Structure 1
Amino acid sequence: MSAITPTSLLTQPLGQLATTIAGATGVFHQYKLDFCCGGKQSLADALAKKGQDATPVLVALQQLQHQDAELPEWRSQPVKALIEHILERFHQRHRRQLPELIRLARRVEHVHANDLNCPTGLTQHLEEMYQELESHMLKEEQILFPMLAGGIYPAGPISVMEEEHLQHGDALAILDELTNNITLPQDACNTWTALYLGLKELKEDLMQHILLENEILFVQPKTIAKDDDRQMCCGSCQ
């Protein structure tokens, strides 16, 4: 994409920047800017809420614009291809991640219960996250995704999924609170280290998952409307 001025960067929504500038999500993770559930807010508004100086974020984003690395441009790919990517890259991955993270968290809470840094309550929170996320993914797999693959974009089900995405964002915020922003204590054992490494991966994956759905998959392509218009014409233009 062509270079964007700092002023233009500030006025664009985080979700749009995350899906058009390769590597932007890494910058947003670094500065704790919510680009998935909070993807509709502008970069300027997000920075203001955090009290964050805009300069280092803008410099990092402009540097990325000059790099050759490119993310897959899912907006130009068939909807079915994006759905398959989400199913394989995120749905199945979450189903592998969470049971193991729950096991590790249970072990850490048991062994280090007397440690002031122990993430007490993390196991229960992860179990609740897994239950909610599994229910969410099943609804997508059984109801919404087949409709989207068929060119149908139902406003009601999409709104429900977007609302649940906000709840997932809240769950990630609680995860940060329980783990001091997933920060390891200096004397952390290997199990604790593996747990927090996995939590960081889960957080990044879930945010990327939500971003792709909110900003690309759930947005009805303009070609759908054109196809509908063509089907409604008298046929003389065929």
Structure 2
Amino acid sequence: MTAFDINILDKSLGEIARDLPGASRVFFSHGMNFCCKGHQALATSIQEKNLDVEEILSQLNQLIPAEAAEFSEKFVPNDELINHILERYHQVHREQLPELIRLAQRVESVHGDNPDCPHGLASFLIHVEEEMEAHMQKEEQILFPMIQRGMGGLAKSPVAVMRMEHDDHGESLTRLEELTHHFQLPADACNTWQALYTGLAAFKEDLMNHIHLENNILFERIDNYLGGH
């Protein structure tokens, strides 16, 4: 095992995802929670998931040569990062959830007698939409303007609240996987059912990346802010 391997095993998932472009895709493919459990060490996560340490390290090592060439949000100014979050994630979630709710309602209505039917999914997605909309409004109306005005010190308290709500979003993703049997489709799944699970998987990945950008990059800057406000 190289010195790099030993080093990276001690680093947190969030730190690696923040500093090494492409690492978040590796973690996502193995079901490793780099957003809400971003503080967890890589070695601990590998052990908890019973994964092959050499395989994970090999995949991460392959990303190293591309690091300098790839865009990394780590170095983006706060204003630009916030605009990216708003356009890439807030706007997209507001488009994703109504469609996912519609698809879930259709699947439950048509396939309610199928033992694999995700009963209760539509109502749960409505709850998720309500919770996320309230959360995003707080960020858009209170937290993000504070950060953009350089009020880093005052922003620490609302950041702590947003982190807790991110944990709730992480639990919602776990519940989504339970309701859908980890997005596993029955052999005879119709096109609507397939579209639903494909959309849910995309939503999950987007939300995890969204939380990662905020928790491990934007909010980390606020946690470390030493200014006067």
TM-score by length of 2: 0.92
Structure 1 segment 76-115 matched on structure 2, within 5 A? 76-115=75-114
Give the paired residue count.
226
CA shift in 2, pair 1:181/1:8, >3 Å: same
Alignment of 1:196-207 (within 5 A): 196-207=197-208
Is the CA contact (8 Å cut-off) linking 1:22 and 1:69 kept in structure 2? no
- Residue 217 of structure 2 corresponds to 216
Match of 2:134 in 1: 135
Q: Which secondary structure does the structure 1 equivalent of 2:127 belong to?
A: helix
Quote the RMSD (CA, aligned, Å): 2.1
Whether the 8 Å contact between 1:4 and 1:62 is mirrored in structure 2 is no
The 8 Å contact of residues 32 and 45 in structure 2, kept in 1 or not, is answered as yes
User: 64-73 or 40-49, which moves further after superposition?
Assistant: 64-73
- Taking a change above 3 Å as real, the CA distance of residues 71 and 169 of structure 1, as seen in their structure-2 partners, is farther
Which one has a bigger Cα radius of gyration?
1
Which sits farther off after the overlay, 32-41 or 72-81?
A: 72-81
**Residue 4 of structure 1: CA displacement?**
6.9
The one-letter amino acid of 2:163's match is E
**Structure 1 162/109 Cα, relative in aligned 2: closer, same or farther at 3 Å?**
same
Deviation readout 1:80-102 (Å, 9 max, x if unpaired): 11111100000010000000000
Residue 121 of structure 2: aligned partner = 122
Alpha-carbon distance in structure 2 between the residues aligned to 1:64 and 1:206? 23
Instruction: Determine whether 1:65 maps to 2:97.
Output: no
What is the CA distance between 1:222 and its match in structure 2?
10
Give distance in 1, aligned partners of 2:218 and 2:166. Answer: 13
Counterpart of 1:163 in structure 2 is 164
Describe the superposition over 1:61-114 as per-residue Cα deviations: whole angstroms up to 9, x where unpaired.
Answer: 111223368543223222111111100000010000000000000000111111
Partner of 1:5: 4
Measured in 2, the distance between the counterparts of 1:148 and 1:55 equals 40
The answer for unaligned runs of 5 or more in structure 1 is: 232-238
Match of 1:193 in 2: 194
Q: Which shows bigger deviation, 137-146 or 42-51?
A: 42-51
| Change over 3 Å in CA distance of 1:221–1:168 after alignment to 2 | closer
Give SS of 2:220's match.
coil
CA distance in 1, matches of 2:69, 2:108: 41
**SS of 1:219 mapped into structure 2:** helix
Higher relative contact order (CA 8 A, sep 6+): 2
In structure 1, what is the equivalent of residue 50 of structure 2? 51
Give 2:50's aligned amino acid.
G
For the 8 Å contact 2:18–2:74, the answer to whether it is kept is no
- Cα gap change, 1:152/1:49 in structure 2, threshold over 3 Å: closer, same or farther? same
Which 10-residue stretch deviates more, 170-179 or 147-156?
147-156
- SS of structure 2 residue aligned to 1:186: coil
Question: Alpha-carbon deviation of 1:168?
Answer: 0.2
Distance 1:222 1:207, change over 3 A: closer
Letter in 2 for 1:112: H
TM-score when normalising by structure 1:
0.89
Segment of structure 1 superposing worse, 44-53 or 118-127: 44-53
